[in-house]
Structure 1
Amino acid sequence: MAPQDGGFLKTAKDLTAGTAGGIAQVLVGQPFDIVKVRMQTAPKGTYTGMLHCAGGILKNEGPLAFYKGTVSPLLGIGVCVSIQFGVLEYTKRFFAERNIKNGIGGADGLALGPGQLVAAGVAAGVANGFASGPVEHIRIRLQIQSTGNKIYSGPLDAIKKIYSSHGIAGIYKGQAVTFLREAMGYGVYFLTYEKLVQREMRMKGIKREQISPVNSVLYGAAAGYALWAVIYPVDMIKSRMQTDGFSPTTGQKYKSTLDCVRVVWRTEGIGAFTRGLGPTLIRSPFANGATFLGFELASRLMS
């Protein structure tokens, strides 16, 4: 049975609040993300570390390069995070109603168990994957372009050229590993955040909207670290797949996701699976804290 409480209006509010969280995430995290992607996809030995990579971008491409490809994620990630929170909150309400019927979870049925929170997060991640796959693919293609070697003039040009040459499969390149990353990551991500929120509500005897914005940021930061602890090697493979050639005649290195794992392991060793982790760990608390803060504040404004 679909959740009845709130109906369409409730879902619309969740989607809008999710969009606010997504925009906040992109604005805060984009400079760190481009450094991560460059380090993940560059040949071994290109950069000695995060500062070397960031310094090279600043010196050779200027400060605005740190926001290269931002239009695509600003629009796309807003949609992606909107989908995440829309599906998450819908699924949470579904489980809450079931808990009420079964007489568990308290009077309001909102004390969801870990398994329910993980399931809601996995559902949110898979739903998000349909949008995040092509959005991140286009963003990464733009991020790895150097100033003197531009193939695409912008996101629309990239979509047009990739689609005309490789069809919808080209747009969704790396989609299998994207679904794996989203399902694994968001199951842990939302479990961590929601359990921290539940803990504070239980200990202080308060409602969700009474949690301070500072704690929303801190819980979001913790959730972000939990997410990346689980998915970083998968994310690296996704980046490799999405920057690989589309066919053997256009520089394709990997036949499949598993082939990518084997080739990277054999030629670059285990260290390649954590390359670029530094900027990710620095970015994570700011970007994910901003995401949840944006969502919670927007939700409160619309309540």
Structure 2
Amino acid sequence: MSADFWAGYVSGAVGIVIGNPLDLIKVRLQAKDAIPAQTTVSYARQFETPSSLVTGTAAPVLGYGALNALLFVSYNRSEAAINNYLAISPNLWTTWAAGAIGGLATWVVSTPTELVKCRAQLSLPPTSSWKIARQIVKSEGFRGLYFGGVVTALRDSIGYGFYFWSYELSTQLITSSKQEKSLTKDAARVLLCGGLAGVVTWASVFPLDVIKTRVQAQTNEPAAMALLGDQTKVHRRAGAIEVAKEAYRQGGLRVFFRGLTICSVRAFVVSAIQWAVYEGIMHELDQGKQRSVEPV
């Protein structure tokens, strides 16, 4: 397999392990109406045991590793194809478009991964990812693993467009202002640009992510329908638009940004490390990208 596949796979898996504790809090904040009320003390207690730090990571480590590999392969191939087809030099518009295509290509992996992860992180008492996946397949078939797929695809396409766009833009700005090069400075650049890319990405799609979390938090069990504020709706689950309307009715616009702060902290750390791992592996395999991206 190609170098960018393995670099993407390893960097994705590393990012999940490092960022899971903060991701757990983010998901529970986004869907807090689906679980008992949380306080600062109760959140702290969720991390009293080592196992709590990796709740819901089994599916993402395998799934997100594959997702990240597919993302980088799709992005690199799409960018090359777009630039060759249009006979133009790389620029930030084609970078965004290639990132959006790459994000859309991950849908087949990201939807079931996100679904299982969300339900594992929201399950009380804790339930393993494998058990949740088996339960979904048993009760709904493999099609059930793709519940919430449309909003997930939309989130990923837009988000990853900005992911690569912001990384290339910040890299371009920093590189153009550097007076000298060194391994230390280059590593710092990758970490900074990678971190900024993570924050920009989540800021651009966070309302969609809140909706996705609330959609996928719904199960076929009556208690889960409390997410919609109506205990009588037990025979069907709401779609993204209905969930968004109900969330707005209950909490206004603020509800769509609940958890953004903790998510931004996580995004900076995880994305910085992911890009550092990816660039490091690509460099070791002598596949580093020569950047000559033109401004928009």
Q: TM-score, normalised by structure 1?
A: 0.83
Q: Provide, for residues 42-84 of structure 1, a one-character-per-residue CA deviation record: whole Å limited to 9, x for no partner.
A: 1299235xx445314135xx34212111111111111111111
- Post-superposition offset of 1:183: 1.0
SS at match of 2:106: helix
- How has the CA–CA distance of structure 1 residues 84 and 13 changed in structure 2, closer, same or farther, with 3 Å as cutoff? same
Alignment partner of 1:213 out of 169, 172, 187: 187
- Post-superposition offset of 1:250: 6.8
Residues 167 and 196, structure 2, Cα contact 8 Å, conserved in 1: yes
- Post-superposition offset of 1:98: 4.1
Query: 1:58 aligns to what?
Result: 47
Distance (whole Å) between structure 2 residues aligned to residue 278 and residue 210 of structure 1: 29
Alignment partner of 1:47 out of 32, 35, 38: 38
Alignment partner of 1:145 out of 112, 123, 127: 123
Structure 1: gaps spanning 5 or more residues: 1-8, 106-111
- How has the CA–CA distance of structure 1 residues 43 and 193 changed in structure 2, closer, same or farther, with 3 Å as cutoff? same
Q: Provide, for residues 230-270 of structure 1, a one-character-per-residue CA deviation record: whole Å limited to 9, x for no partner.
A: 11111011000111123779748452110001111112322
Instruction: Write the mapping of 1:1-303 to structure 2, written as runs, cut at 5 A.
Output: 12-43=2-33, 46-48=37-39, 51-52=40-41, 54-58=43-47, 62-98=49-85, 102=87, 104-105=88-89, 112-147=90-125, 150=126, 152=127, 154-203=128-177, 212-246=186-220, 251=225, 253=228, 254-303=237-286
Residues 217 and 224, structure 2, Cα contact 8 Å, conserved in 1: no
- Look up the equivalent residue of 1:120 and give its one-letter code: A
Distance (whole Å) between structure 2 residues aligned to residue 54 and residue 66 of structure 1: 12
What is the identity percentage for the equivalent residue pairs of Structure 1 and Structure 2? 26
RMSD value over aligned CA atoms? Answer: 2.6
The number of residues matched between the two structures is 275
Residues 193 and 222, structure 1, Cα contact 8 Å, conserved in 2: yes
- How has the CA–CA distance of structure 1 residues 267 and 66 changed in structure 2, closer, same or farther, with 3 Å as cutoff? same
- How has the CA–CA distance of structure 1 residues 281 and 204 changed in structure 2, closer, same or farther, with 3 Å as cutoff? closer
Distance (whole Å) between structure 1 residues aligned to residue 41 and residue 265 of structure 2: 15
Distance (whole Å) between structure 2 residues aligned to residue 300 and residue 57 of structure 1: 39
- Look up the equivalent residue of 1:24 and give its one-letter code: V
Structure 2: gaps spanning 5 or more residues: 229-236, 287-296
- Look up the equivalent residue of 1:47 and give its one-letter code: Q
Q: TM-score, normalised by structure 2?
A: 0.84
- Post-superposition offset of 1:278: 2.4
- Look up the equivalent residue of 1:33 and give its one-letter code: D
Distance (whole Å) between structure 2 residues aligned to residue 175 and residue 246 of structure 1: 17
Q: Provide, for residues 187-222 of structure 1, a one-character-per-residue CA deviation record: whole Å limited to 9, x for no partner.
A: 111101012223444555999x99712211100111
SS at match of 1:64: helix
- Look up the equivalent residue of 1:299 and give its one-letter code: M
Distance (whole Å) between structure 1 residues aligned to residue 42 and residue 151 of structure 2: 26
- Post-superposition offset of 1:32: 0.3
- Post-superposition offset of 1:169: 2.6
Distance (whole Å) between structure 2 residues aligned to residue 156 and residue 246 of structure 1: 18
- Post-superposition offset of 1:159: 1.6
- How has the CA–CA distance of structure 1 residues 282 and 54 changed in structure 2, closer, same or farther, with 3 Å as cutoff? farther
Distance (whole Å) between structure 2 residues aligned to residue 234 and residue 122 of structure 1: 15
- Post-superposition offset of 1:167: 1.5
Deviates more, 1:271-280 or 1:34-43: 271-280
- How has the CA–CA distance of structure 1 residues 233 and 52 changed in structure 2, closer, same or farther, with 3 Å as cutoff? farther
- Post-superposition offset of 1:114: 2.0
- Look up the equivalent residue of 2:47 and give its one-letter code: L
- Look up the equivalent residue of 2:56 and give its one-letter code: G
Distance (whole Å) between structure 1 residues aligned to residue 61 and residue 162 of structure 2: 24
